[in-house]
């Protein structure tokens, strides 16, 4: 445990996990060398997700998958999908603000998605548009957009010119990285570009918080990749080996309930065992490095130091690092 509260940066890359195998197959790591380097430093694992029986009427808006994931990462899923009643429209969700839930936590959301913008604002985030966020950075105008985004995010957290300020405007900055829509022959190029951009964002974080620096000791960085709607094949990216062969077998009765399928001591029936979020977290002197050397499902399932945690516990774990919530679990 650190002797001072951390300040947290979360890079939530919606849908990017589905791009990792394709990028690797393309050869040369597919432009994710910095993601791999981050995974080698970090504590890696998975965040399990719940799938509602019915979904909110979104009018075909593709951002609904992102709202569903964010509702779980921010632990408001039960409010959005209450038991035995119809789902609640995200605009009508009534829950306490983050500052009320987590001891005055000050949080910012950076996004270009209108649906995420309004959803996050309703939860108590101060919301920034990605384009304006980069433009308002005080860093060198000759630097890349991704570097400027990270520079401003760190500035809001009280990190400036390699030093740590006594106070900061925010405790948590949540950066939503969305995939771009591509069609036809440009599809593969677009997917690779999405992953390259995420890799550059991670590179900018690692450059701004090098090992041994004051910033590295105080910033808690989480990189979260989700599969989005790529959940058709339940045997792909599955947390349980040979799950299909045990579906109708008494052998499944011998397996104890995993903690990622439970909440508040109660078993959840809607947790899926396939396509979890991929999570890597790093703070020098606080997180433990494991044996994972690559940012991929296959590497995490074999070598990660953590297994799976219910996605709804994610924000609570972050808040604990910020001294805004008590420790949950072991």
Q: How many CA atoms lie within 13 A of 237 on its CB side?
A: 28
Position 79 in a domain = yes
Q: Evaluate the CA torsion angle 212, 216, 221, 225 in order and state its sign.
A: negative
Chain centre distance of CA 116: 14
Position 330 in a domain = no
Low-confidence ranges of the chain (pLDDT < 70): 1-2, 21-31, 55-62, 138-142, 181-191, 230-232, 241-257, 328-330
Roughly how many angstroms between the first and final C-alpha of the chain, as a whole number? Answer: 13
pLDDT in tens, 59-100: 445 678 999 999 999 999 999 999 878 899 998 999 999 999
Q: How many CA atoms lie within 13 A of 292 on its CB side?
A: 33
Query: Which CATH number does the domain housing residue 65 bear?
Result: 3.40.720.10
Count the domains in the chain.
1
Position 326 in a domain = no
Q: How many CA atoms lie within 13 A of 211 on its CB side?
A: 9
**pLDDT at site 27:** 47
**pLDDT at site 329:** 60
**pLDDT at site 89:** 92
Question: Is there a contact between 159 and 7 (Cβ–Cβ < 8 Å)?
Answer: yes
Position 24 in a domain = yes
Question: Is there a contact between 8 and 2 (Cβ–Cβ < 8 Å)?
Answer: no
Position 162 in a domain = yes
Position 15 in a domain = yes
Position 243 in a domain = yes
Q: Which residue range is the domain that position 314 belongs to?
A: 7-321
> Helix, strand, or coil here: 309?
strand
Position 328 in a domain = no
Q: How far apart are CA 300 and CA 306, in angstroms?
A: 8
Written as one string, the DSSP assignment of 16-77 is GGGGHHHHHHTSGGGS-HHHHHHHHHSEEEEEE-B--SS----TT-TTHHHHHHHHHHTT-H
């Amino acid at each position: 445990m650190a002797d001072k509260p951390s300040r947290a940066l979360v890079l939530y890359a919606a849908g990017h996990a589905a791009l990792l195998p394709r990028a690797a197959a393309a050869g040369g790591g597919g432009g994710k060398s910095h993601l791999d380097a981050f995974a080698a430093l970090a504590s890696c694992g998975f965040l399990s997700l719940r799938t509602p029986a019915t979904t909110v009427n979104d009018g075909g808006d593709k951002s609904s998958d992102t709202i569903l994931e964010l509702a779980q990462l921010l632990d408001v899923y039960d409010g959005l999908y209450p038991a035995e009643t119809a789902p609640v429209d995200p605009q009508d969700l009534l829950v306490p603000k983050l500052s009320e839930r987590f001891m005055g936590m000050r949080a910012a959301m950076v996004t270009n998605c209108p649906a995420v913008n309004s959803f996050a604002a309703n939860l108590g985030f101060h919301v920034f548009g990605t384009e304006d966020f980069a433009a308002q950075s005080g860093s060198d105008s000759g630097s890349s957009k991704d570097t400027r985004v990270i520079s401003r995010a760190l500035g809001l957290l009280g990190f400036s010119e390699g030093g740590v300020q006594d106070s900061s405007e925010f405790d948590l900055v949540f950066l939503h990285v969305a995939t771009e829509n591509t069609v036809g022959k440009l599809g593969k190029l677009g997917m690779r570009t999405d992953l390259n951009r995420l890799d550059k964002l991670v590179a900018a974080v690692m450059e701004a918080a090098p090992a041994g620096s004051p910033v590295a000791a105080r910033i808690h960085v989480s990189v979260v990749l989700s599969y989005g709607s790529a959940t058709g094949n339940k045997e792909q990216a599955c947390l349980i080996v040979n799950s299909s062969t045990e579906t109708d077998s008494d052998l499944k009765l011998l397996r104890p309930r995993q903690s990622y399928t439970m909440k508040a001591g109660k078993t959840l029936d809607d947790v899926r065992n396939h396509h979890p979020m991929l999570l890597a977290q790093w703070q020098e002197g606080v997180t433990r490095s494991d044996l994972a050397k690559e940012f991929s499902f296959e590497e995490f399932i074999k070598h990660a130091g953590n297994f799976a945690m219910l996605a709804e516990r994610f924000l609570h774990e972050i808040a604990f690092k910020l001294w805004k919530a008590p420790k949950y679990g072991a």
